[in-house]
Homo-oligomer: A and B are copies of this chain.
Amino acid sequence: MPIAAAIQNALAGSSMIRKMFEEGNLLKKQHGADKVFDFSLGNPDVDPPPAFHQVLVRLAEEDKKGSHGYMPNAGFPDVREALAKKASREHQVAIDGSHIVMAVGAAGGLNSVFKTICNPGDAVIVSKPYFVEYRPYTSNHGAKLVEVDSLPDFNLDINAIGAALTPQTAAVLINSPNNPTGKVYPAATIAALADLLREHGKKTGRLPYLVSDEPYREIAYDVDVPPVLSAYSEAMVVNSYSKSLSLPGERIGYIAVSPDITNKADVMNGLIYATRVLGYVNAPAFMQRIVAELTDVSVDVAVYARRRDAFTAVLDEAGIEYNVPEGAFYMFCKAPARQASEGDDLAFVNHLKQHLILGVPGSAFGKPGWLRFAYCVDEKIIRASAPAFKQAMETWTKK
């Protein structure tokens, strides 16, 4: 029997990217996995830090009675307290466990947030380019995603966001460090955004929420990622351990809200209810207890910094323009122009494939003319890709 029409359409729509991945797998079968330079996926190859392994083994051996059972939907109370301390430190606020809801990764956390705050027809504003899954995360709950352009350096365009605000705006969604650009929004930008939202709230009586998706907070180079919860009363932060502890498969993250949030009881009860009825029920018990002991630990960012430098060298040599990422682990590059026409990201991604290089077109992030390479792969692979990139550029410009 036919499945739901919306799902059928989604499957047809996403088939382009899926086809690319399938072709990538085919390339690996044909040429050997080690001959293909796969920069397509944000799946960290860096191992979880040694402290993770120690806690994992210790808690497995202890295996306390009831430790795999139900707990309150928001999470174990002591885990929530531990993460409140971490969020307080990162966001320069003083929140306690009552401001935390443990989540099934950042993806689960964002769905709980949007179910809680969005009425059908409400809008969530996002700055392009953005993580492609934000679209279903909002449409799941009857909200529509409204895209605005970013500034040329990929910082938030406060004027563009201001122009997009309406009384139906439930939230502005930001992601810093950003996937795919690696941009970290400066404190002044966060402050300006908060001012804008307060101003809008005064005019309309509805203060939009500021939802900050921060799975890459711990992965930043040379810059600090500024606090968000201290900047605006209606702020919610969603974070996970997928990148900071390299645990993307374990689905463990959390939501933290500003200490000054309006109607705190409703917001927290709503987030807890949404977490329950969306079928997460609670974040995985065993991992909750592990991450609570690792609030000061993260993967070695220096590894990613070296890879970034290796990748910029490769791109420089090939003559491909890029944005220098301040955080996360993606190179966002300009699709090179050809014969006086603008760079076509889809065509260039296909062309790169012939040289056994896999990337993702910027079109998938709402930014045609650009492409994303994930550098959460071994530095050797990055260095080894240099001749392929160079050759690809030579054949591209001559075509």
Contact surface of A with B, Cβ cutoff 8 Å? 1-8, 10-11, 14, 41, 43-45, 47-48, 53, 56-57, 59-61, 63, 65-71, 104-105, 107-112, 115-119, 122, 133, 136-137, 140-141, 201, 206-209, 234, 246-252, 262-263, 266-267, 269-270, 273-274, 276-287
Assuming A3-B117, A57-B63, A248-B281, what are 5 further A-B pairs, CB within 8 angstroms? A2-B266, A4-B115, A41-B70, A69-B248, A109-B279
Q: Which of B61, B65, B277, B284 contacts A251 (CB 8 A)?
A: B284
Q: Is the CB of A267 within 8 A of B71?
A: no
Quick one: closest B residue to A139, CB to CB? B277
| Contact A284/B282 with A3-B263, A248-B69 known, Cβ cut-off 8 Å | no
Quick one: closest B residue to A251, CB to CB? B284
Listed A/B pairs (17) with beta-carbon separation below 8 Å: A7-B115, A7-B273, A10-B277, A44-B69, A48-B68, A60-B61, A68-B246, A70-B248, A104-B104, A107-B280, A107-B281, A108-B279, A110-B279, A249-B282, A249-B285, A251-B284, A284-B284
Could you tell me the distance between the alpha carbons of A231 and B184 in the complex, rounded to whole angstroms?
56
Q: Is the CB of A119 within 8 A of B70?
A: no
Q: Is the CB of A63 within 8 A of B69?
A: no
Could you tell me the distance between the alpha carbons of A58 and B285 in the complex, rounded to whole angstroms?
19
Q: Is the CB of B286 within 8 A of A250?
A: yes
**What's the minimum C-beta distance from A240 to chain B, rounded to whole angstroms?**
10
| Contact A273/B14 with A53-B63, A69-B43, A278-B278 known, Cβ cut-off 8 Å | yes
Could you tell me the distance between the alpha carbons of A267 and B339 in the complex, rounded to whole angstroms?
45
Quick one: closest B residue to A41, CB to CB? B70
Contacts of A276 in B (CB 8 A): 133
**What's the minimum C-beta distance from A172 to chain B, rounded to whole angstroms?**
13
Count identical subunits in the complex: 2
Could you tell me the distance between the alpha carbons of A229 and B123 in the complex, rounded to whole angstroms?
42
Could you tell me the distance between the alpha carbons of A280 and B279 in the complex, rounded to whole angstroms?
9
Q: Is the CB of A247 within 8 A of B119?
A: no
Contacts of A267 in B (CB 8 A): 3
Contacts of A284 in B (CB 8 A): 249-252, 284, 287
**What's the minimum C-beta distance from A75 to chain B, rounded to whole angstroms?**
10
Could you tell me the distance between the alpha carbons of A136 and B136 in the complex, rounded to whole angstroms?
19
Q: Is the CB of B119 within 8 A of A6?
A: yes
Could you tell me the distance between the alpha carbons of A282 and B284 in the complex, rounded to whole angstroms?
12
Q: Is the CB of B273 within 8 A of A1?
A: no
Could you tell me the distance between the alpha carbons of A248 and B286 in the complex, rounded to whole angstroms?
11
Quick one: closest B residue to A60, CB to CB? B60
Contacts of A104 in B (CB 8 A): 104, 251, 279-281
Contacts of A59 in B (CB 8 A): 60
Quick one: closest B residue to A48, CB to CB? B68
Contacts of A107 in B (CB 8 A): 279-281
Could you tell me the distance between the alpha carbons of A330 and B55 in the complex, rounded to whole angstroms?
37
Quick one: closest B residue to A137, CB to CB? B279
Quick one: closest B residue to A277, CB to CB? B136
Contacts of A266 in B (CB 8 A): 2-3, 8, 11
Contacts of A71 in B (CB 8 A): 249
Q: Which of B112, B115, B141, B263 contacts A1 (CB 8 A)?
A: B263
Q: Which of B11, B57, B248, B263 contacts A2 (CB 8 A)?
A: B263
